[in-house]
Chains A and B, each alone.
Chain A
Amino acid sequence: AQSVTQLGSHVSVSEGALVLLRCNYSSSVPPYLFWYVQYPNQGLQLLLKYTSAATLVKGINGFEAEFKKSETSFHLTKPSAHMSDAAEYFCAVSDPGAAGNKLTFGGGTRVLVKP
């Protein structure tokens, strides 16, 4: 069975500072990996995904993530936080061996950006 762990349910950063959100996964095979963002009262929106191509993945809004197989990690970063980055971020995995397979989510990390 797959599982996802996000370290830190809440992260507070200053505007302009680095954003680092941690995600570790457990899976018997290298999974597909996703980061989603949820703004208040909205659904989940895809930021980026890893599907076994380049290990450094760039997404929307200046975010990127690096897949490290040896560390079973897929941490999300953004060099300079903006006030609009305040949201909840979810890491998720999917099994590449199954068609249309479900997403398994981590617990989420809520980001607060201080002016």
Chain B
Amino acid sequence: EPEVTQTPSHQVTQMGQEVILRCVPISNHLYFYWYRQILGQKVEFLVSFYNNEISEKSEIFDDQFSVERPDGSNFTLKIRSTKLEDSAMYFCASITGTSSMNEQFFGPGTRLTVL
């Protein structure tokens, strides 16, 4: 069964460093998302991406964040200069089609630890 994959599973970085989190969505899916979950808190929406551009972004997704689909398969989240408060689990998700009723398929997540 097709699945969303994410690498790495765990990333440790120093404050101020750039990180790139990678996701491979399911191949025929059209909408892609990043969410994050700070330990003990809600899963929060960061950004959605469709047709090679950002469709919607949250207040969290400031100038330090960017997303890219560099080829036909990868979908990346870059944090330019990490802060301690960026430590969280980051989930990638994708849906087939464009309807909001469609199931979002989630990857296993990347745990980012900023020291």
A102 engages B45 (CB within 8 Å):
yes
- The answer to whether residues A106 and B103 also contact, given A44-B91, A99-B98 and a CB cut-off of 8 A, is no
* Contact A100 to B109, CB < 8 A, known contacts A32-B100, A51-B101: no
* Total interface residues in chain B, CB < 8 Å: 29
Taking each of A34, A43, A96, which has the highest tally of chain B beta carbons within 10 Å of its own beta carbon? A43
Do B106 and A43 touch (CB < 8 A)?
A: yes
Task: Give, as a whole number of angstroms, the nearest-CB distance from B39 to chain A.
Answer: 12
Expressed in whole angstroms, the minimum distance between the Cβ of B42 and any Cβ of chain A is 5
What is the chain B residue whose CB lies nearest that of A97? Answer: B100
Verify B42–A106 contact, CB threshold 8 A. yes
Q: Report yes or no: B104 in contact with A32, Cβ–Cβ below 8 A.
A: no
**Contact (A103, B108) CB under 8 Å given A49-B103, A95-B100:** no
The answer to whether A100 touches B98, judged by C-beta atoms less than 8 angstroms apart, is yes
Taking the closest CB of chain A, its distance from the CB of B2, in whole angstroms, is 13
Q: Which residues of B contact A43 (CB under 8 A)?
A: 4, 91, 106-109
Determine if B103 and A46 form an interchain contact, defined as CB atoms under 8 angstroms apart. yes
Cβ contact within 8 Å between A102 and B33: yes
Interface size class of A (residues with CB under 8 A): 20 to 34
Name the residue on B nearest A90 (C-beta): B43
Which residues of A lie under 8 Å from residue B4 when comparing CB positions? 43
Instruction: Report whether A103 and B45 are in contact in the complex, using a CB–CB cutoff of 8 Å.
Output: yes
Given contacts A34-B103, A100-B100, 20 further A-B contacts (CB under 8 A): A32-B101, A41-B108, A43-B4, A43-B106, A43-B109, A46-B103, A46-B104, A49-B101, A98-B56, A100-B48, A100-B95, A100-B98, A100-B99, A101-B48, A103-B35, A103-B45, A105-B42, A105-B44, A108-B42, A108-B43
Chain B contacts to A: CB under 8 angstroms: 4, 30-31, 33, 35, 41-45, 48, 50, 55-56, 58, 91, 93, 95, 98-101, 103-109
Name A's B-contacting residues (CB within 8 A). 32, 34, 36, 41-46, 49, 51, 90, 92, 94-96, 98-108
15 contacts between A and B (CB under 8 A): A32-B100, A34-B103, A36-B106, A43-B107, A44-B91, A44-B106, A45-B106, A49-B101, A94-B101, A99-B100, A101-B56, A103-B33, A105-B42, A105-B43, A107-B42
